Amino acid sequence: MTDPNLDLQESGWEELRKDARKIEGDLDVKLSSYAKLGSRFTQGDTGSPTLGSSRSWKSMEIEIQSLLEKLLDINDAMSRCAASAAPTTSVTQKLARHRDILHEFTQEFRRIKGNISSMREQAELLSSVRDDISEFKASGGMSPRMQLLRERAAIHGNIAHIDDVINQAQTTRAVLGSQRALFGDVQGKVKVLSDKFPVIRGLLGSIRRRRSRDTLILSAVIAGCTLFLIIYWLSK
């Protein structure tokens, strides 16, 4: 029966681990330097990035990306090596640790790269605004870029106002629709009640007829009294 540790040694496991640890150390140093480059903006250096600094960022990004790819290849080779030689618990744990380190370095690189990109965009935008202000002061008028920005802001303001009016109109329409449905429902219920209770419908009809008759009688009395007063006034 062969020794698993001997099989791993023959398959190059220790050499791969040595290479992985070396690249992990290089990545740690590179990421630290890369983060210091990005900290220049957060410390108040908001000027436009120079050509040299841009090359420095780009060169360091390429180096870190290359090291991450190499470390990924070594981890894959270590996985194949462990699988070919009956891996033990210790080997599995070491392999998992190397994978975790690769994942942490990759996430850290993406985070720093995103922060630097965001800071550079802000710096470039601020530099552009400063140039427009300087141009505006030097020429005594408004630059075409500033005019476009002002017109764009006005258009966005008008669009927002139109959206508010449309939303209010839609809300009013919905309220009117709900009221119409409510009135229709009440009318339908009254009709259903009148159809179900013909006695109530007949009683309501009698009340309406009696009210009409009382109105006629009252009108006749008023007319007779008025006529009597006229005749009495004429006879004097």
* pLDDT for the residue numbered 143: 58
80 near 12, Cβ under 8 Å? no
Euclidean distance between CA atoms 98 and 21, whole angstroms? 8
DSSP 185-221: HHHHHHHHHHHH-HHHHHHHHHHHHHHHHHHHHHHHH
Give the pLDDT mean for 101-115: 90
pLDDT tens per residue across span 154-167: 787 677 778 777 76
Distance CA 91, CA 97 (A): 10
- E strand residue ranges, 130-192: none
Per-domain residue ranges of the chain: 1-141
Split at pLDDT 50, 70, 90, the class of 106 is very high
Q: Is the pLDDT of residue 192 over 50?
A: yes
Q: What per-residue confidence (pLDDT) applies to 210?
A: 80
The H helix count followed by the E strand count for the chain is 6, 0
Q: What percent of the chain has pLDDT over 70?
A: 66
Q: Write down the CATH number for the domain with range 1-141.
A: 1.20.58
Q: Which amino acid is at 18?
A: K
> Residue 49: left (phi > 0), alpha (psi -120 to 50), or beta?
beta
At 53-69, the pLDDT tens digits run 566 778 888 999 999 99
Average pLDDT, the chain: 76
